[in-house]
Amino acid sequence: SGGLDTSIVASIASRRGPLKAYTVALEDAPSPDNEYACLMANRLKLNHKLHVFDMDELMRTLPEVIGTLHVFDPMEIRNSVAVYIGMKQVKQDEGSTFLTGDACDELFAGYSFLFNLDAKGLKSSLEKLWKVMSFSAIPMGRSLGMTAKIPFLDPEVRRLASEIDPSFLVVEQDGRKWGKWIVRKAFENLLPAEITWRVKTPIEYGCGTTTLPQIFDQRIRDSEFHEKQRLIKEVDGVALRDKEQLAYYEIFRETFGERPSTDGRTCPQCQYEVHEDATFCRTCGAYPI
């Protein structure tokens, strides 16, 4: 993506031998990742493949992603569908293993919702996050017969993250609060400044899938949405927030059938089971719960 995390992984991995890098983007959508990914690929002399996918390819891929991840959370799907399409490019090129930049945000406070916490609150929030964090690249790769390698999940990296003083994770500099500050400083001599100090950009914004809510809003009539929203709430007990989520839920429901019963904690929006420590629902994306 040309983001901080994947650029660090690519920079280190490229020292060990030839590396192929993949970037994906939705056709006719803003895709700022392309510029940064090309910058890093040229700097590292990577074999770089940019795959532009259209809505037909995306729609064909949605059932595979939803079926693999067991979710109808729009944010998760907008991010993961792009990653999955990238993985299929790797597989098409006969690749069996791929590297990702996952876990850096979770370990070193890359998310903006952590930026205004005091040191004690930040440490506590990170420890809770570490208990529930999961990464879609692992099951999606497995479903394609490939292996996801996540360097930031190395035990030594996780140990280091747990021992770092929170004051080095979120730092105000030049009038802006920066997450992962210590990571940026550690690699600022290895990466271009444009990458080191690039503001975190979620996958969906970087590749263009952030436009999917508008696309589904145009594809589904208001009357159809409201009728299905009412019926699904009445029959399945699932509260759908918008047309995009309706499209994903219909695929989810067709794939998995009725919701299984559970004695554990459940999400108030979709009634699916959630982790006892979770602040959001991994299935439908409800937050806070």
- Secondary structure of 127-195 in HEC code, one letter for each residue: HHHHHHCCCCHHHHHHHCCCEEECHHHCHHHHHHHHHCCHHHCCEEECCEEECCHHHHHHHCCCCCHHH
pLDDT at 283 over 90: yes
Q: Which of 50-64, 65-79, 199-213, 272-286 has the lowest mean pLDDT?
A: 272-286
**Residue 106: both structure tokens together:** 């979770």
Distance from C-alpha of 144 to C-alpha of 213, rounded to nearest angstrom = 27
pLDDT at 50 over 90: yes
Q: Which residues contact 140 (CB under 8 A, 6 or more apart)?
A: 65, 68, 69, 80, 83, 84, 87, 148
pLDDT at 209 over 90: yes
The one-character DSSP state at 81 is H
Q: Round the average pLDDT of the chain to a whole number and report it.
A: 97
Residue with tokens 């105000």: 172
Nearest to 71 by CA among 288, 289, 266, 270: 270
Average of per-residue pLDDT across 190-217: 97
pTM of this structure: 0.95
Residue-range domains of the chain with CATH: 4-210 (3.40.50.620), 220-289 (no CATH)
Beta strand extents in the chain (DSSP E only)? 20-26, 47-53, 97-99, 147-149, 171-173, 176-178
The per-residue pLDDT for 277 is 80
**Residue 224: both structure tokens together:** 């159809």
The per-residue pLDDT for 132 is 87
* Three-state DSSP class for residue 83: helix
Q: How far is CA 80 from CA 43, 87, 101, 203, in A?
A: 27, 10, 14, 8
pLDDT tens, residue by residue, 259-270: 999 999 999 999
pLDDT tens, residue by residue, 121-148: 999 999 999 998 999 999 999 999 999 9
Comparing 276 with 230, which gets the higher pLDDT?
A: 230
The per-residue pLDDT for 278 is 85
